[in-house]
Structure 1
Amino acid sequence: MKKIKFDTLRQLILVFILIVICIVWAILSPNFLTMNNLMNVVRQASYTAIASVGMTMVIIIGEIDLSAGSLIAASGMIAAGVYKATSNIVLSFGAAILCGIGVGLFNGVLCAKGRLPGFIATLASMTILRALGYIITDGDPISVMDKTFIALGTGYLWFIPIPVILMIICIAAGSFIMNKTRFGRYVYAVGGNAETSKWSGLNVDKIKILVYVFMGLLTAIAGIIVAARLGSGQPSAGNGFEMDCITAAVVGGTSMAGGKGKISGTIVGVLLLTVLVNGMTLIDINSYWQQVIKGIIIVVSVLMDTRGKKAE
């Protein structure tokens, strides 16, 4: 009988836990299985999943991105501000995406060329972006209630929410890159051992920069969705968002040491965390206790990763 790999077993366990949590919430709250709540769950999961695809790639190369939450706010404010000034949806979303790419490039260059740890480089970006957001807006949201703008966050294509369609596209693109392209193999190689990869002829700096650029692009898309859903770009948006993405990736089996992880596992992690928080909110569990539970989940996930390495 063929032995099941630890990573495969871990994903199966996560799916089982997700099913059990759904059953528990359905029993404890009659509102959990209502269509309105389920649509709310998938919308919440959508933008977290989009950015988590990029976060998974960043962690696989052995780095981290703490600027995701601030970039959610910055890209949302740019999208809202440009649309309010021009009424041009293409220009609005294009400017926000360029912002994301620019921030990703900045983070990547600091890590690759400046030799700064990802933690330090993105901590600086996080602080700068958040501060600039408050300075430029005076702490006030940039409201845009135009139907064209908010459709991306609240609208449907046929019966499917538009954010979910964007999520599926981003997940498919990320999975294709990581599983079917030479670049994806290079990402795993760099995360496994950057020095060996360099001696093997890989341009490690370029790979790191491109991964951060991809992260910035996906986070900007998530930021646009958040702004469209709220009907405004808010300087306070995305607080703690980077931790949600990191938690989803780690819960899904991505190793904080780099070199290992799957986007499919991260998506299961996103769904598990979104359903968990949604159910806790429905049964009125204090938000501070929700954070405690998330912290415990991170510790357990990292311990599982450590035990998994010993078992290999």
Structure 2
Amino acid sequence: MAESALPRKRVIGFGDLFGRDAGGIVILIVLFGALTLASDQFLTADNMANLARQVAIFGIIAVGELLVILTAGIDLSVGSVLALAGCVTAELLTHGVPVPVAILVGLAAAVLAGLVNGSLVAYGALPPFIVTLGMLGIARGVVLVFTDANTIQPLPDAFGDIANGTTLGVPNLLWLFVAVVVVTAVVLRRTVFGRYIYAIGSNPESARLAGVPVKRVLVAVYAISGFLAGVGGVLFTSRLNAGIPTAGTGYELNAIAACVIGGASLFGAKGGAFGAAAGALIVATLNNGGNLLAINAFYLQIIIGLLILVAVFFDQWQGRLRSRRGVT
């Protein structure tokens, strides 16, 4: 048999392993290398621990945001829901409620907000942008009312140890972040629920005709986004050991930025958990490196904005190329 007739072994590349996530991971590696060369302080143990704590909270929120974006939706309420969960937990703790119970009630409040969002989007057929924009105001208003816009403290030391402690020398926040990313990646890639999410983001009507319970999946996705925002709120409050009514302001934009920079498409059905995590790390690393190099924070906002525009441009450009080639 001629050598040319033999099947050639296909070399598995980086992009094959991570798909659309690969771009964000490559940018992150380049960014880490550049900052390592630019600052002797960057790759120190203390700075890496600080970076891990910075990225973990809004990275967890970004993963929840990703699930909504994959369905071609948006969740603008995650920052306010973060504050809601954190302040509910803190308020209960100041009244002597045990730490586990207070955390569960705080998370329940966040899930309830997510369920309301999902129900209005799925069963009320309302635009996700409008629904979650409304919830952004409602959740923030509720927090400001019951806290009277005052910081809630002091909180038990045991609660503060959750976010500020370490396990095997690694910050607890990083362990939690990694766990959320890995579980979400497995769900998206290996479960029926994950395939349903991508199907809805690709074409909800086709998904419905194929037997996908579109409305129930949408409600579940927004509830999970609320839950992860609640987790972020509990961890944020634990890290500061105080309930901050204004916590999470602007986090929704950072979460969306992390997803887009990490390869997610705002039109749905494209993106992954590792990409969202890489995007969150890119945003956090830019801020961390900027502080070490004494770069004006306003310039960093410009850079992050440009990264979003470039990511969206390349997503559209690749889509047009695939359309010309007849590839879906």
**TM-score range for the pair, normalised by the shorter chain length:** over 0.9
Q: Give, in angstroms, the shift of residue 97 of structure 1.
A: 0.8
Equivalent pairs, count: 312
CA distance in 2: counterparts of 1:156 and 1:43, whole angstroms:
11
Which residue does the alignment assign to 2:325?
Answer: none
Structure 1: tracts of 5 or more residues without a match: none
Which residue does the alignment assign to 2:306?
Answer: 296
Q: Secondary structure at the match of 1:274?
A: helix
Which residue does the alignment assign to 2:274?
Answer: 264
Give the superposed CA RMSD: 1.9
Q: Secondary structure at the match of 2:216?
A: helix
Q: Which amino acid aligns with 2:175?
A: I
CA distance in 1: counterparts of 2:27 and 2:120, whole angstroms:
39
CA distance in 2: counterparts of 1:162 and 1:11, whole angstroms:
25
Q: Give, in angstroms, the shift of residue 165 of structure 1.
A: 1.6
Which residue does the alignment assign to 2:41?
Answer: 31
Which residue does the alignment assign to 2:28?
Answer: 18
Q: Are residues 1:44 and 2:78 paired?
A: no
Q: How does 1:226-245 map to 2 (within 5 A)?
A: 226-245=236-255
Q: Which amino acid aligns with 2:184?
A: G
Q: Secondary structure at the match of 1:86?
A: coil
CA distance in 1: counterparts of 2:130 and 2:263, whole angstroms:
24
CA contact 1:45–1:271 (8 Å) conserved in 2:
yes
* Farther-moved stretch of structure 1 (2-11 vs 24-33): 2-11
CA distance in 1: counterparts of 2:18 and 2:164, whole angstroms:
35
CA contact 1:56–1:266 (8 Å) conserved in 2:
yes
Match of residue 207, structure 2, among 197, 200, 219? 197
| TM-score, length-scaled by structure 2 | 0.90
Which residue does the alignment assign to 1:128?
Answer: 138
CA pair 180-228 structure 1, distance change in 2 beyond 3 A: same
Q: Which amino acid aligns with 2:104?
A: G
Identity of aligned residues (%): 32
Q: How does 1:1-312 map to 2 (within 5 A)?
A: 11-312=21-322
Q: Give, in angstroms, the shift of residue 217 of structure 1.
A: 0.9
Bigger radius of gyration: 2
| TM-score, length-scaled by structure 1 | 0.94
Q: Give, in angstroms, the shift of residue 292 of structure 1.
A: 1.6
Structure 2: tracts of 5 or more residues without a match: 1-7, 323-328
How far does the alpha carbon of each residue in 1:59-84 deviate from its partner, in whole angstroms, 9 at most, with x for none? 00010000011111111101111111
How far does the alpha carbon of each residue in 1:261-293 deviate from its partner, in whole angstroms, 9 at most, with x for none? 111111111111111111012222222222221
Q: Which amino acid aligns with 2:273?
A: I
CA distance in 2: counterparts of 1:7 and 1:156, whole angstroms:
31
Q: Secondary structure at the match of 1:232?
A: coil
Q: Which amino acid aligns with 1:162?
A: N
CA distance in 2: counterparts of 1:27 and 1:224, whole angstroms:
36
